[in-house]
C-alpha cells in the first residue's frame, strides 16, 4: 500500500476488489438505550439569552449529554454537516458517530434533519428517522450525543 495513504482511504478509480474502506463507527447500546428522555426547560440563563438573541432564519443546537455537554452550535447556513469527519461543520469525535452522520438543511425558516445512512441512526424525540422537520425544543440523538433544537424566537413569532 502507498505509505502516504491511510488505511481508511477509499481509492478512487481502483478496481472494486482493490478498494479499501474501513468504517470504524461502533454500534452502541441496545434498544433500551434509545428511549426518549425529555430535558424539559432545564436551560441556564446564558442559554435562554443565547436563544433569545438568535436572528431570523437561524437556530441553535444545545448539547445536553455526551462528551461535549453544554456546547452550543449556531445553525445559520442552508446546509450544516454533522459527523466524526474532521471537516464536518459540527464535529463529534466519538466512535458512535459516523463520519458523515447527518445534515441539517434550512429552507427559509424551516430546518430539516436528514440522516446520511449512519450506522447508529439519527433520532428525533426518541424516534429513528431518515429525515424530519425540526420543531422548537425537539430532542436529537446522534450517536451518544443528545441535543435540543431551538428555533429563532423571531421566526416562531411570525409562524404563530
Tens of pLDDT, residue by residue over 78-95, are 999 999 999 999 999 999
Q: How confident is the model at residue 36 (pLDDT cuts 50, 70, 90)?
A: very low
Residue 160 has pLDDT above 70, yes or no: no
pLDDT attached to residue 156: 79
Share of the chain above pLDDT 70, in %: 72
Q: How confident is the model at residue 49 (pLDDT cuts 50, 70, 90)?
A: very high
C-alpha distances in Å from residue 155, one per residue of 53, 97, 117: 12, 30, 30
Pairing of strands 122-124, 110-115: unpaired
Residue 8 has pLDDT above 70, yes or no: no
> What average pLDDT score do residues 65-84 get?
95
pLDDT attached to residue 6: 45
Q: What's the pTM?
A: 0.75
Amino acid at each position: 500500500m502507498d505509505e502516504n495513504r491511510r488505511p481508511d482511504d477509499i481509492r478512487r478509480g481502483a478496481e472494486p476488489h482493490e478498494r479499501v474502506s474501513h468504517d470504524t463507527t461502533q454500534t452502541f447500546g441496545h434498544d433500551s438505550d434509545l428511549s426518549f428522555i425529555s430535558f424539559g426547560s432545564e436551560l441556564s440563563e446564558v442559554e435562554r439569552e443565547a436563544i433569545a438573541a438568535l436572528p431570523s432564519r437561524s437556530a441553535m443546537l444545545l448539547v445536553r449529554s455526551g462528551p461535549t455537554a453544554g456546547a452550543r452550535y449556531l445553525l445559520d447556513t442552508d446546509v450544516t454537516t454533522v459527523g466524526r469527519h474532521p471537516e464536518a461543520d459540527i464535529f463529534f469525535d466519538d466512535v458512535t458517530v459516523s463520519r458523515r452522520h447527518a445534515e441539517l438543511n434550512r429552507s427559509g425558516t424551516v430546518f430539516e434533519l436528514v440522516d446520511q445512512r449512519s450506522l447508529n441512526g439519527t433520532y428525533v424525540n426518541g424516534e429513528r428517522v431518515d429525515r424530519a422537520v425540526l420543531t422548537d425544543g425537539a430532542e436529537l440523538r446522534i450517536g451518544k450525543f443528545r441535543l435540543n433544537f431551538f428555533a429563532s424566537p423571531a421566526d416562531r413569532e411570525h409562524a404563530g
